[in-house]
Amino acid sequence: MQYDMMKVAIIDESPARASIIEDGLAGLDEPEIHVLTKRHGLLAQIEAIAPDIVLMDLGNPSRDVLEEYFAVSRALARPIAMFVDESDDEAIAEAINAGVSAYVVDGLSKNRIRPLLDLAVKRFNAFARLENDLKEVKGKLAERETTDRAKRILMDSKNLTEPEAYGELRRKAMSSNKRVAEIAEAVVTAFEMMGD
pLDDT band, very low/low/confident/very high, at 187 (cuts 50, 70, 90):
very high
33: left (phi over 0), alpha (psi -120 to 50) or beta: beta
**134-195: CATH architecture:** Orthogonal Bundle (1.10)
pLDDT in tens, 106-117: 767 787 787 888
Q: Looking at the predicted structure, is the pLDDT value of residue 1 above 60?
A: no
3-state secondary structure of 79: coil
Mean pLDDT of the 141-153 span = 95
**Domain assignments of the chain as residue spans, ordered by start:** 7-108, 134-195
Cα distance between the two ends of the chain: 57
Question: 32 CB contacts (<8 Å, ≥6 apart)?
Answer: 5, 6, 7, 8
pLDDT at 188: 94
- CA torsion sign for 121, 126, 132, 138 is negative
- In this prediction the pTM is 0.63
State which CATH number among 3.40.50.2300, 3.90.1150.10, 3.30.70.260, 3.40.140.80 fits the domain covering 7-108: 3.40.50.2300
